[in-house]
A and B are shown apart, each in its own frame.
Chain A
Amino acid sequence: MSAWLCAIDHKRVGILYMLSALLFFLAGGMEAMVMRAQLAAPNLKLVAPEVYNQMFTMHGTTMIFLVAMPVLTGFGVYLVPLMIGANEMALPRLGALSFWLQLFGGVLLYISFASGSAPDAGWFSYAPLSEKPFSGGAGLDYWALALLLITGGSIGSAVNLIVTIATSRAPGMTMRLVPLFVWSTFITSVMIIFALPALAASLVMLLSDRLLHARFFDPAQGGSPLLWQHYFWIFGHPEVYIVVLPAFGMISEIIPVFSRKTIFGYPLMATSSVAIAFLSYGVWAHHMFAVALGRNFLAVFAASSMLIAVPTGMKIFSWIATMWGGAIRFTTAMLFAVAFLLEFTIGGLSGVAFATVPVDWQMTDTYFVVAHIHYVLFGGTVFALFAGAYYWFPKISGRMLDESLGRWNFWLVVIGFNAAFFVQHFLGLLGMRRRVYTYPDLPWFGALNVISTIGAAILAFGILLFCANVLMSLYFGAPAGDDPWNAWTLEWAAASPPPLENFAEIPRVRSRRPLWDLKHPEAPDWTRA
């Protein structure tokens, strides 16, 4: 126990991140199921309006800040040193501090339930709704304080990852040779350092308004409600890429190994991530297209938002080109990676629809948005995380996840996810608004909502099956060996699970696939690239 509480080894800290994220994932999932139950039929009264509003606020906050960010940080902290041939993070104590800040932030957020007033202003808590006169309980104070702790933890782990990647790479591994997962983690960490302070600033302003009678967002006293929106989305849109880019990195590791081909267009893959990172700071106002901000102002943000489709499209086509001509093995990890390509494309395309300002003028804040964000964050990030879990679990635990349970897990998640969320596009097109605790009995509303609820139940079952697979395989899984997938990056040169000191001898790196070079002395990569 104390070995875990006092852990500073990057592998233990990484596992702590992943486990805490899994627990919060189940909590956020339960909140989602309460919402889907309440919406299963028109005019239901399973929960009170305030409770429903707490559910979607906590669901969104949990999934973004307590699941997506920490689990990706966890994968980063666990894998980056192994992938770059290092034995430790550069700043191990900062790593532990960052985790505990993050976890205590999460615990503080959930204590708000015990206080009797959980936050209920939505995960982006627009002022002035989030101000004292309209949200009198302590819920939003918990929310803001918890997010401040999480912000500190996130910045700490980002600094740590940047320093590690910059200084601890194996001899010979230039930045042009690091695995793409490391590249995307590096870019993500830089984004965190520039984006999260905007969130912290907005939270401090909100707390000042709520607790110290400041007037940042009160128009009657010279403040501005839109100030909150600008600050929040200057953080909020880079945040989307913060939780998507590392997932891209995972896909860029997994598809090549199971296609038996090197990644197609490595330099473009890395530079397109950099392009996405740069563009992501110039798109925030597309969350505010329904505010009268002026036509020219909005047009600039429409252009930048549409431009993001270009580097994203490059990635999708490069992944397909990697599969093309390969010898594809459909393990569960690869199934999730391939499904990711299709689901994420749907989310990306509906994103382009929202960048088209007149479409946004109809569809924003409807279920079309709810569908869009879930295709990006679930169809994108979570599908990639499932792929990553099946791919790296053998390295982390030394045992394989069960493949036949994995198939069930995969198909239930695919069917459940699409049933739950694809119909929400139609609900949006029919005029169903997001964040309503109930709806009148309008044509199709009941039928489409009950399909969505059934889909959510199937999805929940698929996720529980994953948890069962993890628990069972920890004890009964087939031993993995060091390199079960015949892979190419350095983590597979370490033992499974890796000992405290990852590598007895730091390998010398001459190409992007050091293990390919070892396995194919007749045609090593460094002779070609």
Chain B
Amino acid sequence: MGSPFSPHSAQTHLIAAVFSVVLVIAGVIFLVVAAGVIYSSVRYRSRGVTAAEPRQVFGSRKLEILWTVVPLAIVTGLFVITVRAMVLIDAPQESGQTPDLVITGHQWWWDARYPNGALATGDIHIPAARRLLVRIESTDVIHDFWVPELARKMDAVPGRPSYIWLEADAPGTYSGACSEFCGAQHAWMRFRMIAEPEASFNAWLLRQIQPLAEPTGAAAEGARLFRTKKCEDCHALGKKGPDLTHVATREFLGAGISRNTPENLALWLTNPQAAKPGNRMPDTPLTANERAALLAYLESLQ
């Protein structure tokens, strides 16, 4: 996971700057309080000698005004900083502009749709050094889209899409995750933002909408099983499960719970609940041959 203090966009740079100011102010205030507490604890400690009671002080108008006005001034300053930063960071919610990307949270994975019809699941590609207007949606419960290095977090509320600016100032891979508790597998609802130079991004985007080569051999049998065993009833855009069109290109399975190896992929076919406890995939009875054919097909989906 990236930290808010390793910002890679104009928005997150600004947040890091505001956060630094807040931490410095908080640190100074804490030191003042601690100094007062420790000084009076040490200086005015009574060591068991039964002396007369100390002088009784009931209050001081001047001091009380001081510690009303100074904190008020500090929070007023903070408020000004806050509002100025909000204006710069926040994306317009009702601009009518077509989003560059629509990112959707599901229990428990993320996918992204591009204007040309391309779909990315888990690994979301973006062009580097371009500010994108991203629409955040949810199909079931409330999720929260969070890539600490690239953007503010934004709740994905079902029935209520929202918008953020998303930007990566340099090519790279940035990790993200759901940041609102969303059920059994909230822990494994991770994803990666892959920022690429414009040209390679465009090439990737084009590849996503070109039809894949017809599978051959065992993979062809697997493709047939994918239909007859009703895998495709869920594993498609707009259905209950993640789209698998390019599953072989992914680094991780189950939104981060395991690496994308043939063994881990096979586990999803033999025992989905062992692969990711609590997920919504039912057991499908398969023979060893059928399993091998399906695996061959899935591994061919580049």
Contacts and interface: CB of A to CB of B under 8 A. Distances in A.
Contacts of B34: 342, 345
B181 A362 contact: no
A48 B274 CA distance: 11
B58 A264 contact: yes
A299 interface: yes
Nearest to B51: A327
Contacts of A499: none
Size category of the A interface is: 35 or more
Nearest to A429: B3
B37 A129 contact: no
B180 A126 contact: yes
A505 B23 CA distance: 55
A53 B179 CA distance: 15
Contacts of A479: none
A353 B179 contact: no
Interface string A491-529: 000000000000000000000000000001000010011
A317 to B, nearest CB: 4
A292 B162 contact: yes
Given A267-B59, A363-B4, A364-B179, A128 B75 contact: no
Interface string B1-44: 11111000000101100110011001001100110110011001
B18 A358 contact: yes
A436 B148 CA distance: 17
Interface string A359-371: 1011111100000
Contacts of A529: 58
B93 interface: yes
A411 to B, nearest CB: 15
A309 B46 CA distance: 32
Size category of the B interface is: 35 or more
A266 B184 contact: no
Contacts of A350: 26
B185 to A, nearest CB: 6
Contacts, number: 265
Contacts of A407: none
B187 A266 contact: no
Nearest to A315: B67
Interface in A193-225: 219-220, 224-225
Contact of A366 (B14, B59, B179): B179
Interface string A281-300: 00000001011101100110
A325 B63 CA distance: 15
A310 interface: yes
Given A358-B15, A429-B4, A309 B87 contact: no
B41 A310 contact: no
Contact of A262 (B14, B57, B148): B57
B79 A439 contact: no
B154 interface: yes
A292 B92 CA distance: 10
B157 A291 contact: yes
B44 A328 contact: yes
A327 B48 CA distance: 9
B79 A303 contact: yes
B141 A129 contact: yes
Contacts of B85: 357-358
B46 to A, nearest CB: 4
A168 interface: no
A225 B82 contact: no
B33 A365 contact: no
B82 A320 contact: no
12 contacts: A49-B277, A134-B107, A265-B63, A265-B64, A290-B179, A309-B71, A314-B67, A321-B57, A323-B37, A330-B45, A355-B78, A431-B4
Given A225-B160, A264-B59, 8 more contacts: A50-B184, A295-B90, A324-B40, A355-B78, A358-B14, A429-B4, A435-B186, A440-B256
* 9 A-B pairs with the lowest CB-CB distances in the bound complex, closest first: A219-B159, A431-B1, A292-B162, A361-B152, A327-B46, A436-B187, A265-B59, A349-B26, A362-B4
